[in-house]
Each structure stands twice: as structure tokens, then as C-alpha cells.
Amino acid sequence: MIRRLFLLLALLAAPLAGGAVAFAHQQKIAITTVSLNKRTGMIEIAHQVPVHDAEHALVAQGIKTPDIIGSEKSREAFAAYVTRRFLFEVDGAPVTPSYVGSEIDGGSLWVYQEVPAPAGDNALLRFNSQILTDVWARQENRVNIGGGTSPETFIFHADTPVREAVLKR
């Protein structure tokens, strides 16, 4: 009798545990850093996305078996996705940053882009990070403007409008 009761409780609790795991998986965060490389005169953009999340984005786009770790083609497909989902303007002009490359570091995929910095002391940046917001409703994207230990951080969700910041030389 006790054995049956225990089995019944375990069966009733199983869907709740699975739901908690599924809910936890939807707590996603991507981090983008935008900084000026004074040596090269380029604005560098580095997107850090969990590999698992990047693969989910590719599946949502119809790629049946993405392999971010083992396939350069999958990494390139995700980099193209990032380019579409990260909107960027410099001094009022929309720009499409050039794709520099990608790499895997631990459980993260890094996608690197760059765009020439304008002449002058400061650049007015307008940006909106919508990476993975089409995949998960609870996606949070952080964009850090500036390098070093004191970047200005902006947080984006699916409904966050375009933001502005000054990138100083």
C-alpha cells in the first residue's frame, strides 16, 4: 500500500519537476560588448551566447541538426542570425558590422564583428539587441558600451526600444 502511494506521488510530481526544468531553461542571457580599439580605429562588437541557446535559435529557423561546436557552417549561420538581430547605428547612420569570426570558449559561442569608428572624439551609438528574443519570451540581452572596468550596461527584452550611448575615444 505504501509502495503504491509513493509511486502515485512520484507520478504526480514528475510533470511538475519537468516544468520547473523547462522554465529554468527559458531564463536566457546573452552579453554583447561594444568597445573602441584605438590601435585599429575600429568599433569592436563581441557577442557571447550560450552554445545551447545558439543551437535552439538555429532549430527555430529550420536547421534540423545544428552543431555549433563541430560545424563552422552552424557557427556561420548563427553569426548571420546575430547580424539580423543586433541593430546598430553610428552617428545616425545604420551600419552592418563586418563579421570577423567566432570561437567556442567553454559553453559559450563568441561572435565577433567590427565597424570603422568615425573621426572625432565621440561616436553616438544607437542599438537594440534582439538576439534570441524570438526564441524565448524571457530572453535578456545585456549590451556593455565601452571597455575596461566601467562600461555602461543596457538591458534588452523583446519589447525594449532602441537605446543610445556615447562611445568615447
**pLDDT, averaged in runs of 10, over the chain (169 residues):** 44 42 54 95 96 92 92 94 95 95 94 94 95 94 93 96 93
Whole-number pLDDT of residue 18: 40
68-71 contact pairs (CB < 8 A, 24+): 68/104, 68/109, 69/104
Q: Where are the domains of the chain?
A: 27-168
